[in-house]
Amino acid sequence: MRQGVKSAATMVVLGLLLLVGGAWGWSALTEPFPGKADLPTCVDTSVSAGDKVYPSQVTVSVFNAGTREGLAGRTMGLFTDQGFGAGDSGNAPHGTSVSRAEIWTKEPTSPAVLLVASKLGPGTKIVRRNAPGAGVVVMVGDAFNKLAKGKGKVTAREDTTICSPPIR
């Protein structure tokens, strides 16, 4: 093969490689970015006996069991203003009767539940039952007006798991 033909063949092959590489690069450059991943409302977090639990580690869901419109949303705002993570909110299941505030939970001695109960004030009823939302579930009724000063932290009495806001 003569030198001129060899050079021409090499240039054609290199040109084709350049075109293929350019097309691949252009398609990669113009491809849309992947969508934002949906984070869960809360994630299970292990807490050891003696650990302190703070509001920022607790997700709270609030449901309106009264007739005052927007009560769950306003109450959720009060909790998030105090550093709690926002869970679910909305209306309580049909037929729910709560005068002021209750916590619905399967774990009434959880440090997260005790911290939220302290913010709802003395005498807050903690009911052992299934709850419709994530984290600590609060049912508020028409007599609920505001959060109490409550505790800034609670110490876990035993090893447990709480539902914490995901790290964003």
- Using only C-alpha atoms, what is the Rg of the chain? 28
- Kindly indicate the confidence band of residue 1, based on its pLDDT and cuts at 50, 70 and 90: low
State the DSSP code for 98: -
State the DSSP code for 57: G
pLDDT value of position 129: 93
56 or 27: which leads in pLDDT: 56
Mean per-residue pLDDT for 60-65? 98
Region label for 4, one of left (φ > 0), alpha (ψ between -120 and 50) or beta (otherwise)? alpha
* Alpha carbons 60 and 128: distance in angstroms, whole number: 16
Under 8 Å between Cβ of 83 and 54: yes
Q: Where are the beta strands (DSSP E) in 3-146?
A: 43-47, 52-53, 59-64, 85-91, 101-105, 125-128, 136-140
Mean per-residue pLDDT for 134-146? 96
pLDDT value of position 64: 97
pTM: 0.78
* pLDDT at residue 7 tops 90: no
- Kindly indicate the confidence band of residue 123, based on its pLDDT and cuts at 50, 70 and 90: confident
- Kindly indicate the confidence band of residue 144, based on its pLDDT and cuts at 50, 70 and 90: very high
70-107 pLDDT tens trace: 999 999 999 999 999 999 999 999 999 999 999 999 99
Domain boundaries along the sequence of the chain: 1-31, 43-164
